Structure 1
Amino acid sequence: MTTYTERPWLSLYREGTPADITPEHRTMLDLFAATLARSPDAVAIRYFDGVLSFADLDTRSDALAVALAERGFAAGDRLAIYTQNNPAFVIGLLAAWKAGGCAVAINPMNKARELTYLLADSGATALLCLEELYTAVARDVLAAGEVRVSTVVTCSPLDEQTRDDERLFAGATRGGAEGGALDLEQVFAEYAGRRPDPASPQGEDVAILTYTSGTTGVPKGAMNTHANLAFNAQTYRDWMGLGADDAVLGVAPLFHITGLVGHVGIALLAGCPLVLAHRFEANVVMDAIREHRPTFTVGSITVFIALSGLAGVTKEDWSSFRMLYSGGAPIAPAVTDGFEAKTGLYIHNIYGLTETNSPSHAVPLGVKAPVDPASGALSVGVPVFNTVVRILDEDGKEAPVGEIGEIVTSGPQVVPGYWQKPEATEQSLPGGELRTGDVGFMDEQGWFYLVDRKKDMINAAGYKVWPREVEDVLYGHPAVREAAVVGVPDEYRGESVKAFVSLKPGEHVTEEDLIDYARSQMAAYKYPRSIEFLDELPKTTTGKILRRELRASVT
């Protein structure tokens, strides 16, 4: 019998790809230093019409590290970064490491209650944030006195560029420092040429705290170590063959693990440009693609749907890309087929969690993922280098090949635990192996398939219905742009299947038509009993459709 520890998926690797890799760098600081020594004048960031070299990143992060240290930031301290996809985010990361500490990634959509919790839980003593977020949110949080932050540095989204694109920055001005905060541009000027005392982080030291969404409780800070990040940055580079001649389009939020590793980590390791555009606005991003000609990106499938659906977009607009990967949410086969028809590009699946520092699985470059004939699910790929993934049944025993169970992952990318939460660590990471909470299976060849989240399973009259399967069927309808399926209370069945759907521009279909379409393709207990049409489905900043919000709207 095939066992998971035998890694049957290795036969699916590209020819010449090793089963295991040896990390070239112990820490992210070592990784950056090697690239800086090799290519100091190479372009590190393109931000509208602004260009920063690796030498620029070095001098700017030196200046910020010195400014932080002078204000008491010491080894082991935490710098919270509360910005959009701006150059300041990358500079802040490097500065935190150079000052001997770690960073705390904060979603720029977070409001006062959420920010207070994250700052308090992490114990951050310094904060780097956008001026507008300081004025609207952070200033009042700090004034309340419930957090330890003593140093604030503010920045403007207009920094490091001169174009001031009206589609993003209409009415925006550089406000400068206020209320005791430092201005980042002034820090660069005042501390120009100064270098911090050398920092020597170890691989096991925390490089950044990334907080889980908190859908099943309070958010937990995953302790992403230097070794975790350095390993998976190299995984991306080696799996996809990325190098200095490539350019990475930063469509995922940098505060999210995909942006941290799949954008920042790759660029710092490969020594290639990272293209940033403040936040995702489809027309702005498409213009950045046309101008800067990136060769690689990884993002949510909703990003690719939005970009390919823009008026006037041609295959030529996409011609600079050598490869595309998508993660964060399962992809319906009909969506990848439709995207390829429009753009000429195949979207490779990738899968991972915050706790796996982005990828634990990926489709080998140049290979099309198979579709499971029984469920219609598109494979999320195979485990990457040095990684063992098992499927466990409800009793915690290894499930036979082909049977559904919980996906559990072990490898160099798995975090050691959650910040100051030993009980949660023991529950989710017993023995260092991550219990993902995702349900799936492995086929005989070693391809893995994600069925759904455990908590999203619908119990309809005793039958298990996985929303993912119903969504995949709905995506096959030519009028459907996005679909999400949830369980709603039903006096007879216990739960009933309900779908929320947004339509492609110019398309029209009735609820009855879609229900009939689904009924014709699945068992009677699975098809949706009701469908609600929305202009837009609610999403996270990373593009994941929020089933929990939809569920809450009807329960």
Structure 2
Amino acid sequence: MPRDFRPSDLTLPELLERTAARVPGRTALSFLGAQTSYAALWRDARRLALALQKMGVKKGDRVAIMLPNCPQFVTAFYGTLIAGAVAVNTSPLYVAHELEQQLVDSGSETLILLDSFYPRYEEIRQRVPVKRVLVAGIQEALPFPKSVLYPLKARREGTWTEVDYGDAAVLPFAAAVASQPPEPRPVTVSSDEPALLQYTGGTTGVPKGAVLTHANLIANCEQSRAWMSDLRPDQEITLAAIPFFHVYGMTVGMNLSVLTGATMVLVPNARDIRMVLGQIQTSRATLFPGVPTLYNAINNHPDTPNYDLSSVRACISGSAPLLHETARRFREITNGANLVEGYGLTEASPVTHVNPVQGEQEDGSIGLPLPGVDALVVGEDGQPVGTGEVGELWVAGPMVMQGYWQKPAETATTLKEAFGRTWLLTGDMATMDERGYFRIVDRKKDLIIAGGHNIYPREVEEALMSHPAVLEAAAVGLPDAYRGETVHAVVALKPGAQATEAEIIAHCRQLLSSYKAPRSVEFRDELPKSAAMKILRRELAKDARERRGGAAG
């Protein structure tokens, strides 16, 4: 695998400009039957940049983007950067209060959002710094006749949102783009200047904006391309189901596609598994970055056998641990798609480790550091631990953030100068074996300590997931007067499957030491997930503790 790495000094607009010049007619975006070429994407991004500039957006201003995976997202992101502004990725799942917090913290004076999200903005508009709003509609990106039928369907179902454009500060996105020539005012931006504020809870759960530069994001794309050595320039088709507002989807789904001239097949709702399956079959997608819950949902969907998924060649799973059974089943139903586990975090743009896509993989490991990434496993004394020993994972490289937006104290506890480098302290507990493969044992904050024993949820979850009736599982710690904490399992069963608490516990006791096995099991129809489809352990733990009347640990 390549180890030497020298990142380029490109900015993200330059990345898109180069690809549009190289393959102008190649399809950049495929959205439910509508096709957008790279030349058209570059044109529309520049038109939007000029529209933003005319509305008063200046270099360094923050522009919040609250859109699903649709053509307008890609236009909005690159148009914002061409205008010299900084994008602020904003989850479409945010309720009004969360949206208010992010807009205030980022100081965003411009908001680009989908029409159906507009009512949430209206709730808080008097309390946020937003001066101008661009409103996009899904129907504007659809081909005829879907573009006409979509509003009729939405009105019939009661999901249509009317936006009052009488306010001069509220403008239709499509009209703003179409009314401008593709000639934005030149803005000089260097690669070491901020491109993105990506909000993350980090290890504390308090939202913080990771400041990611053009150089950070470009470097991580180039690192990923170097690792995936068999990528075919201007030929790949990426199934873009992971949301672009999540940094993993943005880097591996969107920016890597632009770098390599791939076609992005945009899936606005990854929870619609039939849509995901249909888009794979119709587009003949070759690359499918995803998360374990998405692969697991495909594995267990009753319609999966009816679809041809054989075009998929490579998948990198991120955002959460990839359990062995999930990987095995997915490879089976796709006739050998190369599904490998990777690892990253928002503050690293995000990818730092991946199993070899070509070469020897180790199930259960996050693989090897990407080219240009240095990684250490560090003990409580701040010194590297021995091979096979558990410590905190530290990473360094050109993809590591500048810091947290306007939070110097939090930055100082996360970025550390040591051994001649600036290290990002991940908060994840890991080991490294004699061949250099890393394994994440679990998050520091998720560690369960029962009777003096350290129990890592991932190990318990592997045992739970190996039960034939279990669809999804999470292990959390609950307060226990005698042991300090005890292991509590939360599971969702496969459709039509049955299992009792006693059966689940007995199954785990066959695979785990007695102190690691769950002492209680809670059954749910579905486990709560983040916008990036990561199972929310902390929410499950909080719910279970409240029901028991115990204090949060």
Contact 2:203 2:427 in 1 (8 A): no
- CA distance in 1 between counterparts of 2:11 and 2:216 reads 9
Alignment of 1:359-438 (within 5 A): 359-371=351-363, 378-431=364-417, 432-438=422-428
Match of residue 238 from structure 1: 226
Q: What residue ranges of structure 2 are gaps of 5+ in the alignment?
A: 546-553
Shift of 1:462: 1.3
SS in 2 for 1:433: strand
Shift of 1:312: 3.2
Match of residue 295 from structure 1: 286
Residue 202 (structure 1) aligned to one of 190, 197, 222: 190
Match of residue 138 from structure 1: 121
Alignment of 1:117-156 (within 5 A): 117-134=101-118, 136-142=119-125, 144=126, 146-156=127-137
Kindly tell me: are residues 122 and 232 of structure 1, through their superposed partners in 2, closer, same or farther at Cα, counting changes over 3 Å?
same
SS in 1 for 2:413: helix
TM-score normalised by structure 1 residue count: 0.92
Match of residue 375 from structure 1: none
Contact 2:387 2:433 in 1 (8 A): yes
Shift of 1:495: 0.9
Kindly tell me: are residues 177 and 236 of structure 1, through their superposed partners in 2, closer, same or farther at Cα, counting changes over 3 Å?
farther
Alignment of 1:350-365 (within 5 A): 350-365=342-357
Alignment of 1:141-540 (within 5 A): 141-142=124-125, 144=126, 146-162=127-143, 163=146, 173=160, 175=162, 178=165, 179-180=167-168, 181-191=170-180, 193-213=181-201, 216-240=204-228, 241-242=230-231, 243-280=233-270, 281-314=272-305, 317-344=308-335, 345-371=337-363, 378-431=364-417, 432-540=422-530
Shift of 1:172: 5.2
The Cα offsets for residues 369-393 of structure 1, whole Å up to 9 and x where unpaired, read as: 325xxxxxx0011100011000001
- CA distance in 1 between counterparts of 2:158 and 2:6 reads 49
Q: What residue ranges of structure 1 are gaps of 5+ in the alignment?
A: 1-12, 372-377
Cα RMSD (Å) of the superposition?
1.8
SS in 2 for 1:299: coil
Contact 2:6 2:372 in 1 (8 A): no
- CA distance in 1 between counterparts of 2:80 and 2:241 reads 23
Contact 2:63 2:88 in 1 (8 A): yes
Residue 107 (structure 1) aligned to one of 84, 91, 94: 91
Shift of 1:334: 2.0
The Cα offsets for residues 72-112 of structure 1, whole Å up to 9 and x where unpaired, read as: 11111111001111111111111111111110000111111
Shift of 1:459: 1.2
Residue 40 (structure 1) aligned to one of 20, 24, 47: 24
1:58 matched to 2:58: no
SS in 2 for 1:230: helix
Match of residue 3 from structure 1: none
Contact 1:97 1:199 in 2 (8 A): no
- CA distance in 2 between counterparts of 1:369 and 1:502 reads 29
SS in 2 for 1:444: coil
Match of residue 12 from structure 2: 28
Contact 1:402 1:441 in 2 (8 A): yes
SS in 1 for 2:308: helix
Shift of 1:160: 1.4
Shift of 1:487: 0.7
Shift of 1:176: 5.8
- Paired AA for residue 347 in structure 2: E
SS in 1 for 2:304: coil
Contact 2:116 2:160 in 1 (8 A): no
TM-score normalised by structure 2 residue count: 0.92
SS in 2 for 1:414: coil
Residue 62 (structure 2) aligned to one of 78, 85, 98: 78
- CA distance in 2 between counterparts of 1:368 and 1:484 reads 29
Q: Which deviates the most, 310-319 or 90-99?
A: 310-319
SS in 2 for 1:90: helix
SS in 2 for 1:391: strand
Contact 2:508 2:517 in 1 (8 A): yes
- Paired AA for residue 212 in structure 1: T
- Paired AA for residue 451 in structure 2: A
Shift of 1:214: 5.9
Q: Which deviates the most, 529-538 or 361-370?
A: 361-370
SS in 1 for 2:356: coil
Shift of 1:166: 7.3
Match of residue 551 from structure 2: none
Contact 1:408 1:436 in 2 (8 A): yes
Contact 1:262 1:358 in 2 (8 A): no
- Paired AA for residue 223 in structure 2: T
